[in-house]
Chain A
Amino acid sequence: MLPKILRSPFIPMFSYLLILGFLFISMIGSENNQSLVRVCLLILMAFTLVWVSLIQLNNRKYPESKIKYLGAIPPEFREMDEGQQWVTYKACRSVYIYYSYALPLIVGLCFALSNIKFMTLLLLGVLGIGQYIIYWLSIRKFKQF
């Protein structure tokens, strides 16, 4: 169960959303949201702490499939053997196809809606969430998730 949780694409998606939320609240700039910024920062720190602790626990429990904290390869990539690498390849292919359509669309929307405050940040959020959802759907198709 633990490796499944740690290798889920929802973990990086959640941290991505937390970072975006933190930036969004910080940029609003009103004095009332200072406590909200602190709460968001605290959640981000707590999340990081829990994540690191869970990885340590996983690495102690499953020394044959250790997860690196700051490796170049994301933890959601499955590279234990050739079958898992193939699943990762299929999921990455789907994400690449998604980006080839989504990037020009997002650039166009950023240009067209540039008068709306924070639109770029919001669209970047949508783009990133899309990536994780596409990756998860591809993995799920092969019942690997």
Chain B
Amino acid sequence: MLENRVRELRARFRWTQDDLAKKIGVTRQTIGLIEKGDYAPSVALALKIAKAFEVQVEEVFYLK
């Protein structure tokens, strides 16, 4: 199952869901879905999220 640290990283950067959504060009609801683990993003979106946090994609998304 795909897990993620989006919420944790967002808190570290002190960003709201809306801030992150605007940075990567998606809706706030999509960030919410990813954080809750309801939705596994595409590779492109996962890479965009990792780039926004300036980390490797494996540091944001990992299999459990």
Contact = CB atoms under 8 A, between A and B. Distances in A.
Contacts of B30: 81-84
Nearest to A80: B27
B26 A87 contact: no
Interface in B27-57: 27, 29-34, 38-39, 41-42, 45
A86 interface: yes
Interface residues of A, number: 10
Contacts of A82: 26, 30, 41-42, 45
A81 B34 CA distance: 13
A64 B34 CA distance: 23
Given A83-B29, A83-B34, A144-B29, 11 more contacts: A80-B27, A81-B25, A82-B42, A82-B45, A83-B27, A84-B27, A84-B30, A86-B39, A87-B29, A142-B29, A142-B33
B12 to A, nearest CB: 22
Contacts of A117: none
